[in-house]
Amino acid sequence: MWRFLLFLVSTSFLIASPETVNLEEKVSKETVQNFEQDDIQDQIDQEYKPIEFKHTFFKMMLWMVALVGFLVLTFYMLKKMAKNRMTFSNQTSSIKILESRNLSPKTVLYLMEYDGKKAIVAESHVDVKIKLLDD
């Protein structure tokens, strides 16, 4: 590569000088052939350079482990936040949801407490029914 740069610099001086008659006379065919052989060899060395598969594989595995760990941590935090939200809303409200149970995908049964009285609330996509419990 350095020979190519030297070649360019020397030819630019030749072209820029007023005494330049014929560039082909100044630059010998041997120099051009040597440059072409060195350039071809440099290209071959760069194209067929051995790849560090071990390093690349471990780097990929490290990123995959980090990604899976991040997803698990995110799932855990979202689940914990949803649970804490229900607990916190029960502590600050006068209506407390003691327990909830899914009866079907669209039907939920709640055990609730309001001013010391317990009630069962059945909620579905059609309607909501309330039944007061006697203690």
Which tens digit of pLDDT belongs to each residue from 3-46?
665 565 565 554 544 444 454 555 555 565 666 666 777 776 66
Rounded Cα distance between 7 and 2, Å, is 8
State residue 109's pLDDT score.
94
pLDDT top residue among 57 and 37: 57
C-alpha–C-alpha distance, residues 113 and 120, integer Å: 9
pLDDT at residue 122, as a whole number? 94
Query: Would you state the pLDDT for residue 107?
Result: 92
Give the model confidence (pLDDT) of 62-79 as tens digits: 999 999 999 999 999 998
Would you kindly state where each structural domain of the chain is located, as residue ranges?
Answer: 2-49, 52-92, 95-135
Closest CA to 26 of 35, 15, 36, 37: 15
Q: How far is Cα 39 from Cα 33, in angstroms, rounded to an integer?
A: 10
Q: What is the pLDDT of residues 79-126, one digit of tens each?
A: 888 777 766 666 677 888 888 899 998 999 999 988 888 999 999 989
Predicted local distance difference test score (pLDDT) of residue 53: 82
CA dihedral (64, 66, 67, 70) in degrees, to 10, reads: 160
- CA 89/CA 102 separation, integer angstroms: 20
Adjacency order of strands within the sheet including 107-114: 95-104, 107-114, 117-123, 128-132
